[in-house]
Amino acid sequence: MIRMGILGCAEIAFRRFLPAIKDNKDFTCVCIAEEYDKSKLEQFEKEFGLKSADSFQDIIEDENIDAVYIPLPPALHFPYAKAALEHKKHVFVEKPSTTKYEDTNILVDIAKKNNLVLQENYMFQFHAQITEIKSLLDDGVIGDIRLIKSTFGFPLREANDFRYNKKLGGGALLDAAGYVTKLARLMLGDTVKVDTATLNYLPEYEVDMYGSATYSNSEGCVLQGSFSMDSYYQCCLEILGNKGRLFTNRIFTAPPGYVPLLDIETNEGKKQIKLPEDAHFARSIEKFLEAFENENLRNQMYKDLLIQARMVEDIKLMSKR
C-alpha cells in the first residue's frame, strides 16, 4: 500500500485526485496540509475523512509517507517537489512540473539519483481515446498525415485565480499551452521541436493570455496549436490526411463516463464513431504506481519531463517581449 500525502487543498485535488485514488486499492491518502487557505481543510476532512498535518514540511518529513501529490500553483511546484525528492518521497505533481527548464532538470537529477518516480500529471495522455486515434491513423483511415491542428481554450475565471498571477506562475503558456505542447509530443514523437510561437497579452492582465505555436518532427510532420484563457471553450484535435480528416472535441478533458465522438470524413462520405470512454486521472495514477517498480518507465518519465520543459521554454524564448 502506497501512503500519500497531499500538499494543498486545490480544487483539482478535491474533484479529481481524491475520488480517483479512493477507488485504487494500492493507495491510501494519509494526510493533507494547507498553508495558504486553511478554511478549505474542513471540506476535505469532511468529504474524504483525511487527517490534517500542520504544514507541507511535516508531510515531506513524515517517514510514514511514501509519496506526495502537489496540486499547488506552478511557481510552488519546484521548491516542494525538490524537498520531497530530497526526503526520498516519490512525487506526483500537477502540470507544469516547474516554471522553467533548469528547475525541471534539477528535479529529474534528484529523482534519478534516488530512484524515485517523478510524474507530471498531464493525465489526458493516458486516455484510451489517444490510443484509438493513433491506431486509426496507423491503419491509414485518412491516408498520409498532412497537418495536425489542436486548440485548448477556456473562458475567464474569477479575478483572483492563480492563472492571472505572475508570481504564482500564471499565464496561458504554463497552463493551456502545456496541453497542446504535450499533445504535440505524443503525436510527433521524440524528435518534436517548436518552430514558431507567439504569446499575447491583454492590458488588464500581467500574464500572457493567449497564443499559438507550430511544432514539427524530423519527418516534416507539423502540428499547429493555439491556446487561450479568455475564449469560449475549445478542446479539439483535427488531423488532415491526403485521403480524409479526423476531428474530436474533448481531447484534453474527457471526464469519466464521457464517450468521445470522432468525426471521420473521406471521399466516401462522413461518419461518426464512438471512442472508448475512460477515466484518465485514474489511468495516470495507475501509471504512477507502475513506475515504482519499473526503471524503464521512470526513465521514460524523466525524458518526457525534459522534452516538455524544453519546448515550453522554447515557446517562451521565441515569444519574448
For cell 497537418, name the residue. 147
Q: Is 134 a catalytic residue?
A: no
Distance, CA of 8 to CA of 241 (rounded, Å): 45
Residues 6+ apart with CB under 8 A from 159: none
- Residue 235 CA to its chain's centroid (Å): 14
Distance, CA of 119 to CA of 111 (rounded, Å): 10
Distance, CA of 54 to CA of 113 (rounded, Å): 29
Q: Please state, as a whole number, how many other Cβ atoms lie within 10 Å of the Cβ of residue 37.
A: 10
**Neighbouring-strand partners of residue 215:** 194, 223
Task: From the candidates 82, 88, 89, 95, give the one annotated as an active-site residue.
Answer: 95
DSSP H helical ranges for the chain: 11-12, 18-22, 41-48, 56-61, 77-86, 101-113, 128-138, 176-188, 280-292, 295-318
Closest-CA residue to 182 (of 16, 17, 311, 314): 311
At 269, is the secondary structure helix, strand, or coil? strand
> Which residues are designated catalytic?
95
